[in-house]
Amino acid sequence: MPRLCLISLEAHPQLVKGLVQELAAQELAVELHNFPDGEHYVRLEGECKDAIVILVVGMRNPDQVLLPLIFLADLLHEMGASKVVLVAPYLAYMRQDIRFKPGEAVSSRSFAAVLSAHIDGLITVDPHLHRYHALSEIYQVPALALSSTELMADWIKAHINMPVLVGPDAESMQWVQAIASVADLPYTVLHKIRRGDRDVEVSMPELDRWRDHTPVLIDDIISSGHTLLETLHHLRSLALPQAVCVAVHGIFAGEAYDLLRGFGVRDLVTSNSLQHPSNVLDLTPVLTRGIRSWVKEYVNEFS
């Protein structure tokens, strides 16, 4: 394995610590500062000559992290890094994957183009691939989409007695089906209509066959929380056992977390792709394997 350095930008400290240990990487510190006018100052502490640098970035606030990320990636290249690999456990801007209304920017494409111009590779977990089927449709660097399905399935099997999986919309189908198949569980997937950021309508689940089962809501992203809230609302009216929510990426915008907790969910579980009190699923092993395989596959090819 070539020399690996790792830099964290807003990443979960537990994840960073785990990756540094598992990959025997050298963690490099970065000084970040905002000038009085808001412009970003970035300074690398340490050296990265000939190293593969893994930039682990938490993208809960992608607009705030994008410019420091770009400045840092360019700096690392200038300082002699052999490769700069972006590890974004949660990859932002994937949901605007089509022009839903005339005149809308397809921001996923622009975001991907900007990042691709500054990095040599991308590794992420469960990106929101819905209308795109692969990251290569928009990212111009070798990109790896890892899966947290097995982690989610293992957690559900270990903690929930008689679960039935509930996907709130067609987009959740891929995760629901994958978990159901790994853990051999029943599932249903609902239909969602989104009218606005916090205005969604979800179809009524038909769970008559599983009245004594615990509903486990599965989604890739919790943002405003309204997709899950609407689904929980229906479940409450069906008088099933208390529901559990499992999602890969917990953005929890605004008061989403409090609203969901206030609904009386039994457990609210996310991965540590974004730092949050709901983090239970540790992505360290998934990312460690992913980084090793990216390096094995692409470093020799390019050197």
Task: With contacts defined by CB under 6 A, name the span among 78-86, 97-105, 213-221, 232-240 that binds ligand R5P.
Answer: 213-221
| 220 binds ligand R5P, rule: CB under 6 A | yes
Residue 133 · residue 121 · CB < 8 Å: no
- CB of 213 or CB of 249, closer to ligand R5P: 249
Give the Cα separation of 36 and 242 in Å (integer): 49
| 226 binds ligand R5P, rule: CB under 6 A | yes
Among 65, 112, 200, 216, binds ligand R5P (CB under 6 A): 200
Minimum CB–partner distance for residue 171 and ligand R5P (Å): 4
Minimum CB–partner distance for residue 280 and ligand R5P (Å): 18
Looking at residues 84 to 123 of the shown chain, list those that interact with ligand R5P (rule: CB under 6 A): 95
| 169 binds ligand R5P, rule: CB under 6 A | yes
Minimum CB–partner distance for residue 6 and ligand R5P (Å): 29
Residue 147, classified by CB atoms within 10 Å of its CB into exposed (0-12), middle (13-18) or buried (19+), is: middle
Give the Cα separation of 266 and 243 in Å (integer): 6
Among 69, 87, 221, 248, binds ligand R5P (CB under 6 A): 221
Task: With contacts defined by CB under 6 A, name the span among 71-79, 102-110, 225-233, 267-275 that binds ligand R5P.
Answer: 225-233
| 276 binds ligand R5P, rule: CB under 6 A | no
Site string for ligand R5P, 228-267 (x = CB under 6 A): ----------------------------------------
Q: Dig out the tokens for 141 from the structure.
A: 């660097």
With b for 16 or more beta-carbon neighbours within 10 A and e for fewer, the 104-142 pattern comes to eebebbebbeebbebbbbbbbbbbbbbebeebeebbebb
| 225 binds ligand R5P, rule: CB under 6 A | yes
Residue 126 · residue 174 · CB < 8 Å: no
CA angle 237, 193, 106 (to 5 degrees): 145
Give the Cα separation of 192 and 170 in Å (integer): 8
Residue 209 · residue 238 · CB < 8 Å: no
* Positive or negative torsion for Cα 125, 128, 134, 140: negative
| 219 binds ligand R5P, rule: CB under 6 A | yes
Q: Tokens 């994958």 belong to which residue?
A: 178
- CB of 199 or CB of 297, closer to ligand R5P: 199
Minimum CB–partner distance for residue 284 and ligand R5P (Å): 24
| 214 binds ligand R5P, rule: CB under 6 A | no
Q: Dig out the tokens for 202 from the structure.
A: 């979800």
- CB of 77 or CB of 130, closer to ligand R5P: 130
Instruction: List contacts with ligand R5P (CB under 6 A).
Output: 95, 169, 171-172, 200, 219-227
